Amino acid sequence: MQHLDLTLPTPAENLALDEALLDEAERHGDAVETLRLWESRRTIVVMGRSSRIEDEVHQGFCRAQGIPVLRRASGGAAIVAGPGCLMYGLVLSCRSNPALRAVDYAHRFVLGRLARALGALVPGVVCRGISDLAVGDRKFSGNSIRVKRDHLLYHGTLLYDFRLERIEQCLAMPPRHPDYRDGRGHVAFVTNLPASAGAIREALLAEWEARRPRTDWPREATALLARTKYSGQSTDDVQRP
């Protein structure tokens, strides 16, 4: 597996790159697999493919603070990211592992490996709910998936030094939540993983054996997606990819 540690200048470009990597793998046709790592330089809200902004986002606060609200290509609920939140994206081949076409299996497969890698840094990391990682009953990672014919994109958040109050300020209580949340508000439910960004990066690279740095990435496709699909998004008009 190759790895790409790359944060682009804008939120639109960063979301577009995840999708462009998946599209590139589909066009290539062979087992093209990549682990991408990035970290937004500013606070952003990213909604799931089918989320309703009026149900999940405090639009007035985001608008007043100039916090962009975008919509990703994968499912799940809205998340808040920014400095102190490491983002990862895995493009995996369903040809190499056909069981990945089943979403339940894909969640178990990826989260199990992430829990093993991060559990070596912080004891007590477990998979919770459908697609969360937690330390005990405190969530530090939310994840989502987009499956195409021959590849999938599995991506998510890893909180390690994030301003947790930002989540409460930007997001309403989600319309759906796992049982282990037990009605808790965002600040009581989430936590930062007590590990450095560098240690988390190394743990993921080792777990996925992603030791070959990518020397190229789909620049033109990323720019096109950023311009046509993501750049026009706002709290007033969040487009659906």
- Where residue 233 falls among pLDDT bands split at 50, 70, 90? low
DSSP 140-206: EEEEEEEE-SSEEEEEEEEESS--THHHHHHBPPPSS--GGGTT--HHHHB---SS-HHHHHHHHHH
Domain ranges of the chain: 2-230
CATH class given for the domain over 2-230: alpha beta
Q: How far is CA 72 from the centre of its chain?
A: 9
Task: Answer for the pair 4, 214: CB distance below 8 angstroms, yes or no.
Answer: yes
Kindly report, residue by residue over 39-69, the tens digit of the pLDDT.
Answer: 999 999 999 988 899 999 999 999 999 999 9
Residue 160 is predicted with a pLDDT of 98
pTM of model > 0.85 = yes
Q: How far apart are CA 141 and CA 134, in angstroms?
A: 7
* 3-state secondary structure at position 23: helix
What does the longest C-alpha to C-alpha distance in the chain come to? 47
Residue 54's contacts (CB-CB under 8 Å, 6 or more residues apart) are none
Task: Answer for the pair 95, 70: CB distance below 8 angstroms, yes or no.
Answer: no
Nearest CA to 219 out of 8, 5, 1 is that of: 8
Task: Answer for the pair 161, 113: CB distance below 8 angstroms, yes or no.
Answer: no
Q: What is the DSSP letter of 230?
A: I
Kindly report, residue by residue over 102-134, the tens digit of the pLDDT.
Answer: 999 999 999 999 999 999 999 999 999 999 999
Q: How far apart are CA 76 and CA 141, in angstroms?
A: 13
Kindly report, residue by residue over 75-94, the tens digit of the pLDDT.
Answer: 999 999 999 999 999 999 99
| 160-181 per-residue burial string, b: 16 or more CB within 10 A, e: under 16 | bebebebbbbbbeebeeeeebb
Q: What angle do CA 126, 127, 130 make, to 5 degrees?
A: 160
Residue 236 is predicted with a pLDDT of 44
